[in-house]
Amino acid sequence: MKIRILSAYCVQLGHEVSIDQARLEYLSEDHPSRYHFYCSSPDCFANKVRVIGVNYHYSAEESKKYKIPHFRKQDEHLPNCAWVIDTLKENQQGRLPNETEEEAKLRQIRQKLSDLIDVFDPTEDSDDIKNEDSFISSTPRFPEQQNTILNNNTKNDSSKSGCRRTNQLSRLIETWREAKNKLPKKEFEQLKLNVVGIGKLKLCNYFKRFNYAWNTEHFGVMYGGVKPDFKRYGLGFRMTFYDKINDCDVILYISKEKMEKYRYRRYFDMELSRDDIRYITVYFIPDKIELYENGKGYKSYQIEINQLKNFFLIVEPKT
């Protein structure tokens, strides 16, 4: 049986991570060695059951060759492993006890995806991405003692209940991209997302091109393509989008000072330093999009992003 493992304990990082967070951490380090992972379900964790991280050492790309990063089984898991139980539950045919027809359909759709986020929390005040709700607590190092006490009283036991929760925009983007590319349109439009501070809505409606959504009441993710001739200012950058608003250029500027304080600054620096960039798709949750005019009469719309956790970019390489 192929077990769906959505988070694992990383020995090098000293805490549990999703595969997307492992990728951000790995690509933000300078020449790191490959990570080692243990299953995050408590009994498996206590017995050092190993899992493998796949494709996390590659950047996200807009490419037909791009493979979704994921965890897969290495050692045999214990029968009471929460990931085993969760996978068995998801793979059952028909409706489960106390399950509505809509929930059963969603569960069957979920089987086709590597991951599916049900709850997204964009309300964190810090650019330091925190650990997601998990089976085990964060600890400084993997405990060698077999009698290690694990803290299973997480703030939200979302993994055990079958509900996937994240505060990472990059992970939500991966969910949206995979679902959009892999599922038939009718199934894709059935997927729901519960956004903290907003409520439940269709996943497909939470993502919109910025030039169609900038002056609406859209409070979700906006995205668009930027020209490859962006300007660098140390770690900072200034990008111009292909699409315009009211015949005016649309500019996104991130200062070097803001980038220098960001935990994953090296990831973005690495991506923007590539010599094979054909196209870049930028995803963001803006704080403001406003019209500015300089002293020479040049008008442009400026996108303001206060927290870089609400920003992500994906490169489409040259073929």
Tokens of 21: 């967070």
Residues of the chain under the 50 pLDDT cut = 130-131, 137-161
Q: What is the pLDDT, as a whole number, of residue 115?
A: 84
What is the pTM (predicted TM-score) of this model? 0.85
Q: What is the pLDDT, as a whole number, of residue 149?
A: 27
For residue 174, how far is the Cα from the chain centroid? 6
Crossing angle for the helix pair 19-27 and 169-182, to the nearest 10 degrees? 120
Q: What is the pLDDT, as a whole number, of residue 136?
A: 58
- Name all domains of the chain by residue range, CATH numbers in brackets: 7-141+149-197 (no CATH), 207-317 (2.40.50)
Reduce the secondary structure of the chain to three states and give it as a string.
CCCCECEEEECCCCEEEEHHHHHHHHHCCCCCCCCCEEECCHHHHHCCCEEEEECCCCCCECCCCCCCCEEEECCCCCCCCHHHHHHHHHHCCCCCCCCCHHHHHHHHHHCCCCCCCCEECCCCCCCCCCCCCCCCCCCCCCCCCCCCCCCCCCCCCCCCCCCCEECCHHHHHHHHHHHHHHCCHHHHCCCEEEECCCEEEEHHHHEEEHHHHCCCCCCCEEEEEECCCCEEECCEEEEEECCCECCEEEEEEECHHHHHCCCCHHHHHHHHCCCCEEEEEEEECCCEEEEEECCCCCEEEEEECCCHHHEEEEEEECC
CA-closest candidate to residue 27, choices 283, 195, 263: 263
* Contact predicate 164/19, CB 8 Å: no
Q: What is the pLDDT, as a whole number, of residue 162?
A: 56
Type of residue found at 99 = E
